[in-house]
Amino acid sequence: MSMASPESASFEASSDAQAKTPAFADFRRIVIKVGSALLVDRAQGRVRLAWLTSLVEDIAALHARGCEVMVVSSGAIALGRTVLGLPSGPLKLEDSQAAAAVGQIALSKTWADILGHYNITAGQVLLTLGDTEERRRYLNARSTLGRLMELRSVPIINENDTVATTEIRYGDNDRLAARVATMASADLLVLLSDIDGLYTAPPAQDPNATLIPVVPRIGAEIEAIAGDAGSELSRGGMRTKIEAGKIATSAGTHMVIASGHVKNPLKRIMEGGRCTWFLTSANPVRARKSWIAGALEPRGTLHLDDGAVAALRRGASLLPAGVKRIDGQFDRGDAVVLRGPDGAEVGRGLVAYDSTHAARIMGHSTSEIEALLGVKGRSEMVHRDDLALGVE
Ligand code: GLU
């Protein structure tokens, strides 16, 4: 497929207008997705250690600057299939599940070893579709990632391919990485790929294809040029990358696609190397708060005392002690309305307890939660990250 030149020209015009691409130094929380074709040597079925070491060097530099980094790493199936001696070409579901079970061990160990050289602790996180799409599990995964970040660990994330079946899988790590980035309110998603960005047409087919340096907004014309460039080792083509871009940019996360076929690929982007930026106009925290405030149907109401209302307005979380009364039936992770003593809505939030447990601990201090419920629950009734106040 080739693009008519006036349209290519308009891409360039829009990128000139936006010549200012974001600087890495502006980002605080970054998700880096690494494809199988980069990580695993196709002929030998082994990790490309020298390249991975150069990437980890870049990650360590970001980490040392105080950045929070998460990695979404493919490669489990590609590594495991070699060890198990499975044939090349598409695998049957049970073979890819078995390959993932074997390959994931090697994959995580490799990341942990190399990060360890830089005194960075790796944490393995395996997710299935439900972990990002079901609200209760989403909160769990989000808080685990948040805690790992606080502890300065680098999560190494992959789809849990061993238990994922066709109906319940992402299938490609581009979209998984975008969901992780939005779930963790990351401000940047980096897709390291075997292509250095989005072209006006598939470059292998069209010698006149040019790289689009900046996509200010993913519109119909961008979707139209996303061909399907999947290779045997990785599932995602340009189509899944554009899908990832839509997920990320609509939730306040910038995305950049760059080649991983160079050493120190992140440094290369920072130095202005070839890549495509997909910009977002939103801010991830604000985008999430407007989602909580507007998109979710509230399932109940928490009535707060004056002290709790004042604490929320100072930026604190809602503790059980500040809740006087509860209306409605809700599950953990549902949206609830928060009202002050005069009945006025103060804001909305995602509640950390279901209505039965919330009723049991309301009015009590956090230290009493374990005695009241028999389990050590979360300290907050609504965490401040899950709170959208009316005045925002
Ligand atoms: N989760 C798969 C693996 O680790 C890779 C999926 C993809 O390449 O997008 O092997």
Question: What CATH number did the domain enclosing 338 receive?
Answer: 2.30.130.10
Residue where one domain finishes, among candidates 264, 282, 300:
282
- 277 with 293, same domain: the answer is no
- 272 with 299, same domain: the answer is no
- 108 with 246, same domain: the answer is yes
- How many A from CA of 124 to the centre of ligand 1? 15
| Structural contact between residues 39 and 52, judged by C-beta atoms closer than 8 angstroms | yes
With vertex at residue 246, the alpha carbon angle to CA 244 and CA 252, rounded to the nearest 5 degrees, is 100
Count of structural domains, the chain: 2
Residues 224 and 89: their CA atoms lie apart, in Å, by 28
- 276 with 300, same domain: the answer is no
- 112 with 32, same domain: the answer is yes
Backbone angles phi, psi at 324, to 5 degrees: -95, -35
- How many A from CA of 234 to the centre of ligand 1? 6
* Pocket probe mutation, ligand 1, options 173, 233, 257, max atoms within 8 Å of Cβ: 173
- 347 with 276, same domain: the answer is no
Place of tokens 């998984």: 176
Residues 372 and 369: their CA atoms lie apart, in Å, by 5
**Secondary element (H or E) of residue 107:** helix 93-117
- How many A from CA of 171 to the centre of ligand 1? 7
Measuring from atom 2 of ligand 1, which residue has the nearest CA? Answer: 74
CA atoms within 13 A on the CB side of 255: 32
Residue where one domain finishes, among candidates 282, 314, 331:
282
Check: pTM over 0.85? Answer yes or no.
no
Distances in whole angstroms, Cα of residue 282 to Cα of each of 43, 179, 187, 188, 316 = 43, 16, 10, 12, 23
Q: Which residues line ligand 1 (CB under 6 A)?
A: 35-36, 74-78, 100, 158-159, 161, 172-173, 234-236
- How many A from CA of 209 to the centre of ligand 1? 28
Classify residue 172: in a domain, yes or no.
Answer: yes
At 317 the three-state DSSP class reads coil
Classify residue 1: in a domain, yes or no.
Answer: no
Residue of 248, 189, 200, 250 whose CA lies nearest to 222: 200
Classify residue 309: in a domain, yes or no.
Answer: yes
- 117 with 156, same domain: the answer is yes
- How many A from CA of 31 to the centre of ligand 1? 16
Place of tokens 């890549």: 275
- Nearest-atom index, ligand 1, CA of 104: 4
Residue where one domain finishes, among candidates 227, 248, 282:
282
- 217 with 337, same domain: the answer is no
Residue of 106, 118, 53 whose CA lies nearest to 78: 106
Contacts of 4 (CB under 8 A, 6+ apart): none
Q: Which residues pair with 352 in a beta bridge?
A: none
- 312 with 276, same domain: the answer is no
- Nearest-atom index, ligand 1, CA of 35: 8
- How many A from CA of 195 to the centre of ligand 1? 17
- 294 with 173, same domain: the answer is no
Full pLDDT tens readout for the chain, 392 residues = 333 333 333 343 344 444 467 888 789 999 999 999 999 998 888 999 999 999 999 999 999 999 999 999 999 999 999 999 999 888 999 999 999 999 999 999 999 999 999 999 999 999 988 787 777 777 888 889 999 999 999 999 999 988 877 766 777 899 999 999 998 989 999 999 988 999 988 787 788 989 999 999 998 888 888 755 444 334 457 888 998 999 999 888 999 999 999 999 999 999 999 999 999 987 777 777 777 777 677 889 999 999 999 999 998 999 999 999 999 999 988 899 999 999 999 999 999 999 999 999 999 999 999 999 988 888 999 998 889 887 44
Residues 277 and 256: their CA atoms lie apart, in Å, by 4
- 259 with 315, same domain: the answer is no
Measuring from atom 5 of ligand 1, which residue has the nearest CA? Answer: 74
- 149 with 295, same domain: the answer is no
- Nearest-atom index, ligand 1, CA of 73: 4
- Domain range for 314 is 289-389
Tell how strand 188-193 and strand 254-259 pair up.
parallel
